[in-house]
Amino acid sequence: MKPVATIIVFAALAVSAFAGAQADTQKEPTTVTDQLYSEKLRPQFHFSAKAGWINDPNGLVYYKGTWHMFFQYNPLTPPAPFWGHAVSTDLVHWKQIEHAILPDAMGTIFSGSAVVDWKNTSGFKKGSEPPLVAFYTAAGGTSEESKGAPFTQCSAYSTDAGMTWTKYAKNPIIPNIKGANRDPKVVWYEPDKKWVMILFIDGDWFALFESKDTRSWTKLQDFQFPGHSECPDFFPMKVQGEPNVTKWVLTTAIGDYHIGTFDGRRFKSEEGPFTGDFGANYYAVQTFSDAPRERRIQVAWMRGAEYPDMPFTQQMNFPTEMTLKRFPEGLRICRQPVREISKLHDKEHRFTRKAITPGENLLAGISGGLLHIQAEIEPGQASAFGFKALGEAVTYSVKDHTLTCLGKTAAVEPEGGRIRLQILVDRTSIEVFANGGRAVMSSCFVPKTDSSQLECFAEGGAAKAVSLKAHTLKSAWR
């Protein structure tokens, strides 16, 4: 997490913070609109805060039917940022609740992660619930209260299923190593019955640490990820179709990743780095801890989006499910929208084996700013084909084997002579998933037109929609 250059000020929001082991006292933000979640540029199925600035997703964790998403939040005058908090039962409908972890004399609260401590290794358990433990960076020197303090790694815990949080009385758990070292991500390593943390150190350097109790940490390994920094994630994944093969994946802020092995002491990259997202707005990626059925769900901040005259700014991407697949050229991660998107499906328009003819629109009469498109297309005689929504085109070049959207391009090779696409459109964003999520493009924009007509087009000749489903979507806020 990088310090945010602009602080959005909302005087109506008051907040109190208590350091050390004191539980944080929170208040809900007061919004500056009478049309909450209905504003013209408000995303309708992507998370955004009621008011103010958000950036990195933090502390993503699942427990007892609830997905917890914490996030970097700047809704008020300094000190900020701190951890905001939203919950969901389905990854689609989110409710912003009281703030979770607030600034103190050690610093403002930068990015981090959270886990369910099933074995109570931390000793924080009270009553019947296992504790949830959060790990975050106390960003010393980023507020008047923390002037002169360094960046350190700290923890907090919850004994009521993640609803309230108490800072560990003996913070920090890792003292300053170098500069603005930050963004701890923690995972359980079952073979050695221990916790493993990956931490951004400085430049393009990262480090791994181990702990038996979440409190005392020992360094295992330093390594470089050239050209990358911040917000690392580290987790095991089974290879699809090979249940006895597990690899470890290391990602950094922009979602680029390495695939390799981890023996409890050292990570060894075997393949990579590979691009995780080809779009313009995808940053600070993190996956959920403790997701059911070994699902690996990733969320990112759609960094750099603009929302003129809105009471909020920035949004998260729509959650995606990751799979690790073997291709002739090696292992690769594929990402697709979580299947829960179907909860928002409204009207469905279905076509089978229909020609896509230049100058004609197969989808004439279909309109909307909230869309889920699923298509399998044979190029036929076309030189290009694609879709246009809210005035922006998703175009596949048959000659170049490239997919283009909002100024960004990704190489996409046909599979069996066809291109498969999923497209999510949500007022100010377009996310494109090609060939089962092998290539993904996540981008934001401000619509230049009021037209919501959906188009399916071909250029230079006819293509064929082997299958095409266009769903208009309901708002997740209603």
**For the segment 293-319, what is each residue's pLDDT rounded down to a tens digit?**
999 999 999 999 999 999 999 999 999
Structure tokens at 407: 């100024």
What is the value of pTM for the model shown? 0.93
b/e 378-393 (16+ beta carbons within 10 angstroms → b):
bbbebebbbbbbbebe
Structure tokens at 367: 């309109």
Q: How high is the pLDDT of residue 385? A: 98
pLDDT in tens, 153-207: 999 999 999 999 999 999 999 999 999 999 999 999 999 999 999 999 999 999 9
The single residue of 24, 34, 56, 233 carrying the catalytic annotation is: 56
In contact, 203 and 181? CB cutoff 8 Å: no
Structure tokens at 88: 């969901």
Looking at the predicted structure, is the pLDDT value of residue 4 above 60? Answer: no
pLDDT in tens, 102-132: 999 999 999 999 999 999 999 999 999 999 9
Pairing of strands 408-411, 419-426: unpaired
Residue 222 bears catalytic tag: no
Torsion region of 92: left, alpha or beta (phi above 0 gives left; psi -120 to 50 gives alpha): alpha
- Cα 334–Cα 57–Cα 407 angle in degrees, nearest 5: 55
pLDDT in tens, 262-298: 999 999 999 999 999 999 999 999 999 999 999 999 9
Q: How confident is the model at residue 11 (pLDDT cuts 50, 70, 90)?
A: very low
Looking at the predicted structure, is the pLDDT value of residue 363 above 70? Answer: yes
> Which has the closest alpha carbon to 320: 431, 232, 233?
431
DSSP readout, 216-256?
S-EEEEEEE-TT--S--EEEEEEETTEEEEEEEEEE-TT--
Q: How high is the pLDDT of residue 1? A: 60
